[in-house]
Amino acid sequence: MVTLFLINWATILQIMEKLLSIETILALIVGTIGGMIIGALPGLSATMGVALLIPVTFGMDPVSGLTMLTAIYTSAIYGGSISAILIHTPGTPASAATALDGYQMTLQGKGMKALGVTTISSMIGGVISAVALLFLAPPLSLISLKFNAPEYFLIAVFGLTIIGSLSAGSMVKGLASGVFGMVIALIGVDILTGYPRYTFGISSLESGISLVPAMIGLFSLSQVMIQVEKMGTKSVKFTGELKGKVLPTMQEFKSIFPTIIRSSFIGIFVGMLPGAGGDIGSWVGYNEAKRFSKHPEKFGTGIIEGVAAPEAANNAVTGGALIPLLTLGIPGSATTAVLLGGLFIQGLIPGRELFTTHANITYSVIFGFIIANFLMGIAGLSAARLLVKVTEVPSSVLAPIIVVFSVVGSYAINNNVFDIYVMLFFGLAGYLMRKTGFHPAPVVLAIILGPLAENGFRQSLILSRGNMLDYFMSRPICLILIALIILSLFSPMILNRFKERQTTKAKEGISTSS
Amino acid sequence: MKKIFLLFIILTLATFMIAGCGGAVEEPKENVQQEQSEAEKQEATPSEDTSYPDKPITVTISYSAGGGTDTGARILLPYVEEILGVPVNVVNRPGGGGWVGWTYLLNQEPDGYTIGYINTPNLMTGYLNPEYNRDKSIDDFDLISNHVLDYGAIAVKADDDRFQTIDDLIEYAKKNDLTATSTGVGSDDHIAALKVNDEVGTKFVAVHGKGAAHGKAGVMGGHIDVLFANVGEATVPHKNGELRVLAVMSPERSEFLPDIPTLEEKGYGKIYSWSARGIAAPKGIDPEKLQVLSDAFAKAMANAEHIKKMNEMGLAVKPLIGDEYYQFLKDDESGVKKVSHLMGW
């Protein structure tokens, strides 16, 4: 246990010193409030916020820079719910589930309460996940050396199985988007043979498509294009009144508390899955709350559980997603994929060293993250009323701002003009995809996980000296991962059958009792 | 409402300013020194009418900010700036294994205001590999000075009982396949393993991965048998007892690992491996300007403070100028050519 945490009083003092510096405190406040505003604006997601600010952190101290980025991450996901609840336009993809019950509550004049429940659930979810990060990451980093090519390959495959659940609606379209992402990931010099693949003689393509510009294009620029199309029509505006108390009553709080806790743990787990972010976490949280509820039929009509469940889950994803990022260098969500760049800029490489050599930085950032979640709760409860104004910014103002941010952000991350073209290409691609019912999320997932899977597989071929099956079977972590993959592939079918049986049973029950 | 927004905007600006200050603290001092050195220069050379340099100089770096080349350059360049008396700005142009930056550099006017870092052996493998169709070579650059020379090292996991010495390792590897780390096809680590295979008849099989950190983790975790890396990367884990360096691939022992033998002294022949980085200009620069730059860089590299900072990072400073530097790079080129058939080109 002593070696597990490697924290002693001297380290704690150092952490305090780092966290109490003016720079860090300012970074925390700016990150939290800035994140909330970024999140509340449709078209600016948590990923975008982090991508835009990474170049700024270059000149900052590692602790304040990374604390600011993680604060933006969690509060942007919270901020996205404000616009979801009040104007039925999720500010970030992670808030889509919240819009269901949240907007109904607003229509019933309970918008203020919905905001209160959102804030409290987000805060609790975020804090629990940050504490989980504090306690799970150090022991996990101990086994990080046990991870090598075969494990990385299987983790990537496991992450890719999630594409099925990402594709709301058509499974085929989801898989097609995934394949498109994999093809994009092929571009660049093949690391194992040195062969330049699909570069067409352009030097800039040799290092592959950079993730952040592609993501900004797919998520932000394409969103703006969609919004601009609607510009002529009357925009959705919050017209109702916000009255009443923000804080839920003690009784209400008690009724949603189990939901919050359940969703928090779901969120942490989903976050830890490679590539799966807040959007999936919130839907799983919502569905599970519905399943456990005594009155599932009320979901969607504007009840507080329906707001609390996705909200606790999507903020809990943040801490969970940081766990594989810090220990294995595998991003748990799209936003953490961008955060990885922020770590590299500070010269920090994920793995055991983050918890030994750089322990005081890492733990300071984790504690800063916990504080950011509390700060988000306080700021949210006191200023939610004001954040409504953010959603009133007309898209004629917002769209140009986002376009400018997209261009600057794409350029700034590598100081590379080529990345702006990449962003524009993916903006157009994302727009066409949205128009035709494809979802951009699987593309990003595949761009992140494709190379991990490919290199992992081919490196294991060399490591196993051709005897692949035995090699995989002789590694315990591989066996666990294979079991998880099989479970993930077949669980939807099993669950469906289970559900059918349940409903028939329930029907029988009703018929016998009546 | 408005007040809160104003407050927030002020806070944001304040943070950015503080962030900016992190890098800018030294600026006023530099300006003073700049003025001083400018004054000195004017006193020293009053008759000279060609006042090169009289505007900022851009140094391109073909790797991203925060990487090894970038960090080393940012340590050196303030001293160069002091000597030249004009701002020296870093521009990162990463991508294409370094060739995005080098192509850009070669397309610039050879006016002495755009120079850049060149890295071996990535530069050579980039134009020697016919897959890339590149018509550039080392002769398209005018060389200013080498900066860093990092020799290769061979290491195993600290508790790997199979190999106590380099002889154990090589004897074993002659009869058995052993997996070896590499940072990509044509990287110095890959070429090092190929050279040893070629000269001694060992059977090292390269497992190409992304970056030295990946390779180190692979060896420490017991997945890959042997680490082929640079001294700068292997010294810290060796001293921490995570890895055991068995040999270095240099003509003389490394100052950072004085008790580790070289392959040569163990009787395996002149097997050297290194990665080096230095500064070059596009071909055609005025010889006088080149002289000014070479002198400035040579003087800056001799600065004790600079050497100390580089050594703290485990990097050995090795200034080489003129013909000596050219010959050094040509040797590097022929070393790559010698093993190119082993890479399939």
Contact (CB<8Å) A189/B205 = no
pLDDT value of position B25: 38
Q: How many domains does chain B have?
A: 2
Kindly tell me if the per-residue pLDDT of A71 is higher than 90: yes
State pLDDT tens for residues B153-186.
Answer: 999 999 999 999 999 999 999 999 999 998 888 8
Q: What is the mean pLDDT of residues B36-46?
A: 45
| Banded model confidence at residue A243, pLDDT cuts 50, 70, 90 | low
- Beta pairing class for B204-208 and B178-182: parallel
Is the domain of B258 the same as that of B314?
A: no
Give the Cα separation of B283 and B324 in Å (integer).
Answer: 17
User: Is B9 a member of any domain?
Assistant: no
Which tokens belong to B44? 């020293």
Q: Give the nearest partner residue to B22 out of A59, A147, A193, using CB atoms.
A: A59
User: Is B202 a member of any domain?
Assistant: yes
What's the one-letter identity of residue B94?
P
Q: How many domains does chain A have?
A: 1
State pLDDT tens for residues A119-160.
Answer: 999 999 999 999 999 999 988 888 888 888 899 899 889 888
Q: Which domain holds residue B311?
A: 53-149+275-343
- Going by C-beta distance under 8 Å and a sequence separation of 6 or more, which residues neighbour residue B89? B56, B57, B58, B59
Is the domain of B164 the same as that of B254?
A: yes
DSSP single-letter state for residue A236: P
Is the domain of B256 the same as that of B313?
A: no
Q: Chain A within 8 Å of B22 (Cβ-Cβ)?
A: yes
User: Is B12 a member of any domain?
Assistant: no
Q: Are A110 and A244 in contact (CB under 8 A)?
A: yes
Q: Are A224 and A399 in contact (CB under 8 A)?
A: yes
User: Is A342 a member of any domain?
Assistant: yes
**A496 or A293: which leads in pLDDT:** A293
Q: What is the mean pLDDT of residues A249-261?
A: 88
Average model confidence (pLDDT) for chain A? 84
User: Is A486 a member of any domain?
Assistant: no
Q: Are A5 and A138 in contact (CB under 8 A)?
A: yes
| Banded model confidence at residue B100, pLDDT cuts 50, 70, 90 | confident
Is the domain of B116 the same as that of B157?
A: no
User: What residues of chain A lie within 8 A of the CB of B71, using their CB?
Assistant: 347
User: Is A255 a member of any domain?
Assistant: yes
User: What residues of chain B lie within 8 A of the CB of A193, using their CB?
Assistant: 185, 344
Is the domain of B259 the same as that of B294?
A: no
Give the Cα separation of A418 and A405 in Å (integer).
Answer: 16
Query: Domain ends where: B252, B273, B294?
Result: B273
User: Is A339 a member of any domain?
Assistant: yes
**B17 or B95: which leads in pLDDT:** B95
User: Is A89 a member of any domain?
Assistant: yes
User: What residues of chain B lie within 8 A of the CB of A418, using their CB?
Assistant: 95, 100
Helix orientation angle between B287-302 and B304-312, rounded to the nearest 10 degrees:
70
Is the domain of B144 the same as that of B155?
A: no
pLDDT value of position A497: 73
Least confident of A2-16, A397-411, B35-49, B189-203: B35-49
| Residue of chain B whose alpha carbon sits nearest to that of A147 | B221
pLDDT value of position B84: 93
Q: Are A282 and A98 in contact (CB under 8 A)?
A: yes
Q: Give the nearest partner residue to A191 out of B96, B208, B344, using CB atoms.
A: B208
User: Is A36 a member of any domain?
Assistant: yes
Give the Cα separation of B93 and B74 in Å (integer).
Answer: 15
User: Is A489 a member of any domain?
Assistant: no
Is the domain of B180 the same as that of B262?
A: yes
Is the domain of B157 the same as that of B265?
A: yes
Q: Which domain holds residue A78?
A: 7-230+247-474
User: Is B18 a member of any domain?
Assistant: no
The helix (run of H) or strand (run of E) holding residue A163 is helix A163-166
Q: Chain A within 8 Å of B46 (Cβ-Cβ)?
A: no
Query: Domain ends where: B273, B289, B309?
Result: B273
| Residue of chain B whose alpha carbon sits nearest to that of A60 | B19
**B21 or B191: which leads in pLDDT:** B191
User: Is B161 a member of any domain?
Assistant: yes
Contact (CB<8Å) A207/B94 = yes
Q: Chain A within 8 Å of B185 (Cβ-Cβ)?
A: yes
Most B-contacting residue of A67, A143, A148, A198 (CB-CB within 10 A), to test interface:
A148
Is the domain of B164 the same as that of B264?
A: yes
Kindly tell me if the per-residue pLDDT of B304 is higher than 50: yes
Q: Are B148 and B276 in contact (CB under 8 A)?
A: yes
Is the domain of B166 the same as that of B213?
A: yes
User: Is A235 a member of any domain?
Assistant: no
User: Is B124 a member of any domain?
Assistant: yes
Query: Domain ends where: B245, B273, B301?
Result: B273
Q: What is the mean pLDDT of residues B282-309?
A: 93
**A34 or B27: which leads in pLDDT:** A34
Is the domain of B63 the same as that of B145?
A: yes
Which tokens belong to A216? 């900004």
Contact (CB<8Å) A196/B218 = no
> How many angstroms separate the CA of residue A325 from the nearest CA in chain B?
15
> Looking at this predicted complex, what is its ipTM?
0.75
Most A-contacting residue of B9, B10, B15 (CB-CB within 10 A), to test interface:
B15
Q: Look up the CATH number of the domain holding residue B332.
A: 3.40.190.150
Is the domain of B158 the same as that of B235?
A: yes
Helix (H, G, I), strand (E, B) or coil at A409: helix
Q: Are A187 and A199 in contact (CB under 8 A)?
A: yes
